[in-house]
Amino acid sequence: MSELRFDNQTVVVTGAGGGLGKAYATFFASRGANVVVNDLGGSFKGEGTSNKAADVVVEEIKAAGGKAVANYDSVENGEKIIETAIQAFGRVDILLNNAGILRDVSFKNMKDADWDLIMKVHVKGAYKCARAAWPYFRKQKYGRVINTASAAGLFGGFGQANYAAAKLAQVGFTETLAKEGLKYNILVNVIAPIAASRMTETVMPPDVLESLKPDWVVPLVAVLVHSSNEIETGSIFEVGGGHVAKIRWERAKGALLKTDSTLTPGAILKRWKDVNDFSEPEHPQGTANFMEKLEEGLKLS
């Protein structure tokens, strides 16, 4: 198969000054794309700003013969980032919502500021960037979006109640945009990556980090945002260190109880085994299937 190219397309990468974002930006530029390298340039806790992070990546791309412009706005001002794409390249085709910070602290000690800043950067940031790109995507009947979740969002993470909540929000956000975008050829997927970066370098040993290069996350993202992907949307992928796998919901057999006065806590306890029975799982993809179950339940009553 010939290599995937992105000539004449514009890719906006948020948080592209380092880590995964930098790996995306340099890759897409090397495959012919115009790249908007967005980065606020603060610390991994979201403190301070600097133009340097984005500038260094833009210089690197240009030195290698690629096309890139810098943008230094916070993702909370997504419209300015998309505006940079339109002004510099006249279009936007792909949005990689990647920018992120951490404010890890035990729940007991969490302050409103720790919660609010995480929500602003991850949830509001992804929303604002996608919202600003959406009219362009709809008009040109083409758009590809990657949102960035995390294992912490899918499974929880000690000291990460704020981050985990913001990261699982990316899943619901993705599922909805995927449904609304399909008609307009806007495909939206979400990844839970794992990679060596300033975010993970303090919590993982060096030999493990060595096998977790951000470069090993990039190829899946390239596959998902390429025009040859015409069907994969609304999917969650775990990716990193050479591992790539889709994640989905699984529903147990469950119990269907009569909706009358017999529906008591005791009735549920009696059927607890069925509630937890994953021997014949279903993999629901929407509410329709749940409504069918409720209809079956009505027949019991």
3-state secondary structure of 100: coil
Neighbours of 187 (CB within 10 A): 25
**For the chain, how big is the Rg over CA atoms in Å?**
21
3-state secondary structure of 266: helix
Beta strand extents in 149-217 (DSSP E only): 186-193
Q: Nearer Cβ to ligand NAD, position 120 or 293?
A: 120
Give the strand pairing for 243-247 and 186-193.
unpaired
Q: State the nearest-atom distance from the C-beta of 56 to ligand NAD, in Å.
A: 11
Q: Nearer Cβ to ligand NAD, position 12 or 187?
A: 12
List contacts with ligand NAD (CB under 6 A): 14-15, 17-21, 38-42, 44, 46, 53, 74-75, 98-101, 121, 125, 148, 150, 193-195, 197-200
Q: Nearer Cβ to ligand NAD, position 20 or 168?
A: 20
Beta strand extents in the chain (DSSP E only): 10-13, 34-38, 67-71, 94-96, 143-148, 186-193, 236-240, 243-247
Q: State the nearest-atom distance from the C-beta of 74 to ligand NAD, in Å.
A: 4
DSSP string, 119-154: IIIIIIHHHHHHHHHHHHHHHHT-EEEEEE--HHHH
Give the length of the chain: 301
Q: Nearer Cβ to ligand NAD, position 200 or 229?
A: 200
Matching residue, tokens 């969490």: 110
Q: Nearer Cβ to ligand NAD, position 9 or 197?
A: 197
Check: CB of residue 109 under 8 Å from CB of residue 55. Answer: no
Check: CB of residue 46 under 8 Å from CB of residue 121. Answer: yes
Q: Which residues are catalytic?
A: 163
Q: State the nearest-atom distance from the C-beta of 76 to ligand NAD, in Å.
A: 6
Judged by phi (left if over 0) then psi (alpha if -120 to 50, else beta), residue 228 lies in: alpha
Q: How far apart are CA 82 and CA 125, in angstroms?
A: 12
Q: Nearer Cβ to ligand NAD, position 33 or 101?
A: 101
Q: State the nearest-atom distance from the C-beta of 135 to ligand NAD, in Å.
A: 21
Q: State the nearest-atom distance from the C-beta of 209 to ligand NAD, in Å.
A: 10
Give every CB contact of residue 299 below 8 A, 6+ residues apart in sequence: none
Q: State the nearest-atom distance from the C-beta of 237 to ligand NAD, in Å.
A: 12
